[in-house]
Structure 1
Amino acid sequence: MRSTGSVKLFLFISFFFVSVSTSHTFTRCLETFRANGNATGGTDFFGRPVNDSRDAVGLTYEQCMVSCGAGQEPFNWSIFSQQFSAWLLPWLALVSQLPFGAESRIDNLISVALTVGSPTLAAFSLFITALNTRWGNERFSTIKYPNHENAAKALIYLQQVPLRLTTSEGLLASLIVLPENDDWWESLVDRLQQTYTWTIAAATSVAWVMIALIFTIADSVMNLGSNVNSSGQGAGILWLWLVPMVVGWLWVPVCSYEKLKAAINKANEIAFVTAPEKPSQVNNAVGINPPRRASEVSDMQGLGIYEKKEVFTQDAARTAPVFNYARIWEWHSAVEMVAQAFESADRMAKRHTPVNFRNGWKFTDERRVTHHRDNRVGSLEQVQAYCGFDGWEDDEPNPPMPSGVWIRIFVASLFALGLQWSTTASAAITVIFTPTTGLGCRSGTYILYGMISTTIWLTLLLSSYLAHLAKLHHHDRGETSSSGFDFSNLAEGLATFLRRLSTFAAVCNTLCIILACVFQFSDVFSTCYCNSSVLGRGAQRAYDVIAPGYDYDITKAAWIYAVRSAQKIFSRARCNHVAQNLSPRTNSPITSRGTR
């Protein structure tokens, strides 16, 4: 092990020595060019040719390649350490505050790669979660049946997992109707509410990063002409999307997979299910078998979690919040199914129709109790009918899809794209207006990062929708075709391919943007090609400003404008409003969790 480490260290030092020894300084190249009075290719600060080479403050791209070569400037450790610690290290530290909670460490690493590799996807998952929460609160707001508030809270908290609803054997209907299951709802919500994640440590981390960023920006603007090519101003603005992401997710009650599963399993231990009628009870007005423990009747659960092998896309089973995009349609279907069942029971109760219709409606004497317990008991068939479920056979009904899903997806997409491209465009502007002005390697890298991020989001959203269509088609047919080639298999296979390709692209995009920032600080981009902005100006019009004395007023104005533009985007995003939408509340406010 020691010999292997020594070899690696030797190779690194050798590579570093070779890179430094073969590199050059552009200042020395310009001095050599000026010494030759008959040389051509010199420019002023704006790229215009000069008649006397001694008046040159820059070189055309062709002359730069001739005089300086294609290599980079030498590595400067003091500049690299200063820029890296000021512009990139705080952001990498803030990444640790992103929400995790997946079933395995690999899934947590994938969630980090997806968040950093595609801020568009991370922002979309955050905003769609906020919009879903608001819709879930509104969906149950008009229902007055017992436990409707706890049902809304529980379903909103469970956006992290693929929900599995079982209507057969009266499992779901019994959870909604039977008074014995009031404790089930309270137990589930109480366990889920204990997952609130806002802490003083997390808030302090965000505050320190912002304070350090403000001081760093102020220092860079005051010392604008110092090491302008290796300055991390653009890199610092590029990572600004991380602040609203961390703050926004801190308001979400994130929980690990083990705790979520334990909360549901513990609650299901006290779940009751009603019994079917016996033939002798058909003419009996009051003879109903008492409810039994659901665990004694069936291995299924009225409300449970799908396993990984049971979902059509693996991202749906990963509990990190960034994967909420993969559960949009299934979560909406689950909420709509439960809401419709509550609505059906609520309509019957408003008509004063008890579950066991052979009995009369009993009024309660207590003001706080709106539904008498005797009105909520009945046979399995009666409970199923009370919730609007047909029969009690093993076939599950086709899950309903509420209206407005695509509208919420569209709104969340606008917010996500706005956050992504506000920071990306601002970062690119700071570099484009830094001499030599124009689109170059640094700004081009930022734009490419944003384009790949947006593509990953689109591809993964399409993948999740294809998986949803495959699930619906599989549900309608019952079993796939024996030939193995039908719409369900095709959609599922394409969804899997797009998901894996996008995940790989996100990992690569994460590594590339970190390396791009490191390359900028270490002057890897300080070459004739990059400094001359050949990408934007073209080889014929490109030039490299080398000598000091450039008027940085335009550059300073562009930097300040970029920072203000990013700040305006954050204020328009209304993080407080998003945080309020993320609060799982209904008609009555949730118990304050600030003292937990």
Structure 2
Amino acid sequence: MRSTSKVKLLLFLSFFFVSVSTSQTFTQCLDTFRANGNATGGTDFFGNPVNDSRDAVGLTYEQCKVSCGTSQEPFSWSVFSQQFSAWLLPWLALVSQLPFGAESRIDNLISVVLTVGSPTLAAFSLAITALNTRWANDRFSSIKYPNHEYAAKVLIYLQQVPLRLTTRHGLLASLIILPENDDWWESVVDRLQQTYTWTIAAATSVAWVMIAFIFTIVDSVMNLGSNVNSNGQGVGILWLWLVPMVVGWLWVPVCSFEKLRAAIDKANEIAFVAAPEEPAQGNHAPEICPPRRANEVSHMHGIRMYKKKKVFTQDAARTAPVFNYARIWEWHSAVETVAQAFENADRMANRHTPVDFRSEWIFTEEKRVTHHRNNRIGSLEQVQAYCGFPVRGHEEPTQPMPSGVWKRIFVASLFALGLQWSTTASAAITVIFTPTTGLGCRSGTYILYGAVSTTIWLTLLLSSYLAHCAKVQHDHGDPSRSRLNSANLAEGLATFLRRLATFAAFCNTICIIGACVFQFSDTFSNCYCNSSVLGRGAQHAFNVIAPGYNYNATRAAWIGGIILASGYGILFLFALHLILELSNDVIKD
């Protein structure tokens, strides 16, 4: 049975090879057409019919099918290998320089699929991460309470993980107030300080890709008429979004999941929590007991990484940076909760009110120390009140949603759409102005890739918002017991949209890589694609075959497409760098 299958496979491959190798080129079928002086259907370079077939330099779409057939031109390994290695292979190699660092290999694979399948989503996650970094630093810039600068840095790093806060039992308030927890903040920052930044390998990869791209561009422009239908000029421009992605993530604070988890877990081992106030005995005032280790009080922690993966929040639990889009609302709520607690504590300290309000405020003699540690000692109830948290109660209060979230989402969307369509439109333009001019298979594939990428981004953004709404209602209890309540409906729709978009990203990744390979292998070199039937219609489509075409307009379109795509990429990086530089100027150690 196995031998029979092998024989059938060999026969099929042999038949395919023979059929492709024996296919005639368009040049050959045009020569045959010219030899027949009475033949009709010949055109000039602009698609106008010619009276004498011997003057024809192209064929109408219908005549092309009759004279040349409907199959592709013969496959040329030398052309394929040269175009593939020059235009596509460097970009595929550069994908490895994107930050991954997820908990599992499956999550890393999904992050690659989402990045390549939807550059819009990848650019949005990068832009929103930079904008969030700027906002978090701005949010803590006016606070002077101890550890406020560490708090901003810790929260910025934790954009990569599903972040959870626990305000009950004085856990979060103790981290903010108690001097014993100064080591907690320093420990987390010290462990996360060495982020994924510029390395020799990353810099070399980007540099070699750009050098190879420039040399290939120059060579293609100098030899414009050579293999024009299989030329990868549009492919190279289409993938230019990778350079801003790789460079941008090297500027933004990014850590692997293992490093983030180790930093938080190790710090939580040394966390302290305030003790409840001892009841008053006789004429004595209530006694303030020394703080205890947080691990001895509760299995929960004031700041922790949420590890349980619910179906509708799976993307939020994945820690590769491309999934930062799924943590926007929860992260903003967590930052606002911590910032408000620091603000309340700072306001009380500015009034010279110690945590234990029965004590006197102690002024420090050292200039570098703004708050004496004795002013920060108190009971569980007192630290809760000092931060503005409920003194009693076993339920978590609703975390506030700061203003400006949708504004940052809008700005990040402009960044992402600009990067996606500056490269996609530029790639399409270069092919549209390549003879035969007009919308064809190659340019149509590029536009379809950009449209699907944009749709994936919109779908996943909507899915993440629905998942957030469902989680908020689940955490605080949906009053309706019906299975068709709003929380369950939002959860089900979020799960469906997320899975649909992920599948679409997988298909878009396979299709765009396949389309590039097809272009280099002359799969698109057939009468339908070369005649630009999509844009011109079957009645007006024609296939330019003979040499001698004036490529001035094509050359201008190619150069313009390169300038548009690379120019926006530079603008994208400049704006990103400016945002991060201004962010670094807000809070300094």
Q: Given the two structures, how large is their TM-score scaled by the length of structure 1?
A: 0.95
Cα deviation for residue 251 of structure 1 reads 1.5
Equivalent in the alignment of 2:255:
255
C-alpha contact (below 8 Å) 2:145/2:342 kept by paired residues: yes
Q: Any conservation in 2 of the 1:181–1:272 contact (CA below 8 Å)?
A: yes
Q: Where does residue 63 of structure 1 map in the other structure? A: 63
Compute the displacement of 1:24 (Å).
2.3
- Partner residue in 2 for 1:268: 268
Structure 1 pair 227–484 and aligned structure 2 pair: CA distance change class (3 A): same
Where does residue 482 of structure 2 map in the other structure?
483
Match of 2:403 in 1: 403
Alpha carbons of 1:8 and 1:493: their partners in 2 closer, same or farther (altered >3 Å)? farther
* SS across alignment from 1:204: helix
Instruction: Report the 3-state secondary structure (helix = DSSP H, G, I; strand = E; otherwise coil) of the residue aligned with 2:75.
Output: coil
Q: Matched residue of 1:541: which SS?
A: coil
Give runs of aligned pairs for residues 171-250 of structure 1, distance below 5 A: 171-250=171-250
Measure the CA separation in 2 of the matches of 1:428 and 1:310.
41
Q: Which residue does the alignment assign to 1:594?
A: none
Query: Which range moved further: 568-577 or 449-458?
Result: 568-577
RMSD of equivalent CA atoms? 1.9
Mapped to 2, the partners of 1:311 and 1:152 lie a distance apart of 30
Q: Which AA in structure 1 matches 2:413?
A: S
1:252-401 map, 5 Å: 252-280=252-280, 284-285=284-285, 287-310=287-310, 312-401=312-401
Q: CA deviation at 1:308?
A: 3.5
- The answer to whether the 8 A contact 2:70-2:526 is kept is yes
Aligned amino acid, residue 548 of structure 1: P
TM-score normalised by length of structure 2: 0.97
| Shift in Å, 1:567 | 2.2
Contact between 1:308 and 1:314, CA under 8 Å: does it hold in 2? no
Identify if the C-alpha distance between structure 1 residues 403 and 213 changes in structure 2 by more than 3 Å, giving closer, same or farther. same
- The range that moved more, 303-312 or 381-390, is 303-312
Map of 2:80 onto structure 1: 80
Instruction: Please name the residue that 2:97 is paired with.
Output: 97
**Aligned 8 A contact 1:326 1:461 in 2:** yes
Shift of 1:194: 2.0
C-alpha separation in 2, matches of 1:589 and 1:253:
15
In 2: Cα distance, 1:578 partner to 1:125 partner:
15
Distance 1:82 1:125 in 2: 35
Cα distance in 2 for partners of 1:66, 1:16 equals: 21
Question: Is the contact made by 1:175 and 1:302 (CA closer than 8 Å) also made in structure 2?
Answer: yes
Distance 1:244 1:281, change over 3 A: farther
Q: Structure 1, residues 158-193: CA drift from partner, whole Å, max 9, x if none? A: 100010100000000000000000000000111111
Which residue is 2:441 aligned to?
Answer: 441
Amino acid in the other structure paired with 1:239: W
Distance 1:454 1:574 in 2: 20
* Equivalent in the alignment of 2:28: 28
Superposed CA offset, 1:61-85 (max 9, x none):
0100111111000000000000000
Cα separation, 1, equivalents of 2:11 and 2:579: 54
Code of the aligned partner of 2:577: V
Match for residue 50 of structure 2? 50
- 1:5 shift after superposition: 11
Deviation (angstroms), 1:585 = 3.9
Contact 1:149–1:587, Cα closer than 8 Å, also in 2? no
Letter in 2 for 1:395: E
Return the alpha-carbon distance in structure 1 between the equivalents of residues 241 and 440 of structure 2: 23
Shift of 1:393: 2.4
Using the alignment, how far apart are the partners of 1:37 and 1:316 within structure 2?
69
CA apart distance, 1:580 = 5.2
Q: Give the match for residue 143 of structure 1.
A: 143
List alignment gaps of at least 5 residues for structure 2: none
- Asked if 1:496 is matched to 2:509, the reply is no
> SS at the partner of 2:239?
helix
Partner SS for 2:215 = helix
- Listed one character per residue, the Cα deviations across residues 259-310 of structure 1 (whole Å, up to 9, x for unaligned) are 2111100000000000011222696457310000000000001000112425
Q: Give CA-to-partner distance per residue, 1:105-124, whole Å, 9 cap, x none.
A: 01000000000000000000
The answer on whether the counterparts of 1:115 and 1:322 sit within 8 Å (CA) in structure 2 is yes
CA contact (8 A) 1:140 1:586 kept: no
Q: Distance in 2 between matches of 1:293 and 1:488?
A: 37
Report sequence identity in percent: 79
**Structure 1, 18-27 or 495-504: larger mean CA deviation:** 18-27
Contact persistence 1:427–1:562 (CA under 8 A): yes
Q: Secondary structure at the match of 1:102?
A: coil
Query: 1:435-469: CA deviations, max 9, x gaps?
Result: 00000000000000000000000000000011111
Distance of 2:26 and 2:526 partners within structure 1? 9
Q: How does 1:446-461 map to 2 (within 5 A)?
A: 446-461=446-461
Would you say the 8 A contact 1:129–1:582 is kept in 2?
no
One-letter amino acid matched to 2:454:
T
The one-letter code matched in structure 2 to 1:129 is T
Quote the offset at 1:99 in angstroms. Answer: 0.7
Which piece of structure 1 moves more, 4-13 or 518-527?
Answer: 4-13
